[in-house]
Amino acid sequence: MDYALDDVCSLLALRDALHDRLTGMGRLEWAQQEFRDLEATAAQPPPGDDTLYLRVRGCGKLGRRGLAVLRELAAWREAEARNGNVPRNRVLRDEVLVELARHSPTDPGDLGGARWASTRAIRAHAEAIIAAVARGLAVPKKSLPHRLRAAGAGPDGVIELMQAVARKRAEEREIAVHLLATRADLARLHQHVSGQADPDLPLLHGWRWDLVGRDLVGLLEGRLSVGIDPATGYLRLFSTER
């Protein structure tokens, strides 16, 4: 209780200190934009149970039938977690859900010897798991979910080159690169420039656009290239336009 009380008592002073530091660095607007985005996200209704499978780590490894099974398993897990008031992964971890969807066992006896399964959790929920798998297997072929494109998909070397530019910009501004752009963000930007419009991508707006998004789009469109600055030995962007 004392620890929690100290946290609360320090919040106002911490807010003032961070406000002054961000102002001095010229980044107060960056933080305010992030807060607005978080508020907008929090105001959105939670995803429906039929889309929860898209948030399971590793779902992109599955084919269409596996995704249908995973959809049922994820919806069942969500209901179980709500009823027990526990985190989803306390019911079954994401990797276990994906493996269940991949193997799609149809009999409780097929669950016991699986090396990837948590024996206690599987045993406790065996009947519900088999029922969810059966629902996924019963989905008509024409109604199967479309196979997902991997988050990091892109031509060989392109995403890695984009990552190098993002790391360079992050180092220059002394921020963590994953706050600037994740690999999934870079892949989505590549898809956007390739014609798959994604106007809500964070790299296309605000401080991320100013810091690295504009340059990455120029790189993907061929207006910029990456080379080594002979004076410093570090990466540098060069204009290809004359």
What is the DSSP code string of 4-73? Answer: HHHHHHHHHHHHHHHHHHHHHHT-HHHHHHHHHHHHHHHHSPPPPGGGGGGGSTTGGGS-HHHHHHHHHH
CATH of domain 158-239: 1.10.150.80
Rounded to the nearest 10°, the torsion over CA 54, 56, 60, 63 is: -80
The CATH topology of domain 49-143 is DNA polymerase; domain 1 (1.10.150)
Domain boundaries, the chain: 2-43, 49-143, 158-239
Tell me, yes or no, if the two domains 49-143 and 158-239 fold the same way. Answer: yes
pTM of the model: 0.63
Q: What is the pLDDT of residues 171-219, one digit of tens each?
A: 999 899 999 999 888 988 998 888 877 778 889 999 999 999 999 999 9
Run of H or E residues at 126: helix 126-137
Which two three-digit tokens encode residue 136?
A: 């996924």
Q: How far apart are CA 212 and CA 50, in angstroms?
A: 35
pLDDT at 119: 67
Output DSSP code: residue 143.
Answer: G
Q: How far apart are CA 158 and CA 152, in angstroms?
A: 10
Q: How far apart are CA 180 and CA 202, in angstroms?
A: 9
Q: How far apart are CA 137 and CA 146, in angstroms?
A: 15
Q: How far apart are CA 154 and CA 118, in angstroms?
A: 35
Determine what percent of the chain is predicted with pLDDT higher than 70. Answer: 92
- Please list the helix, strand and coil fractions of the chain in percent, rounded to the nearest 5, in that order: 65, 5, 30
Q: What is the pLDDT of residues 92-150, one digit of tens each?
A: 999 999 999 999 998 887 776 555 556 677 888 889 999 999 999 999 999 998 876 65
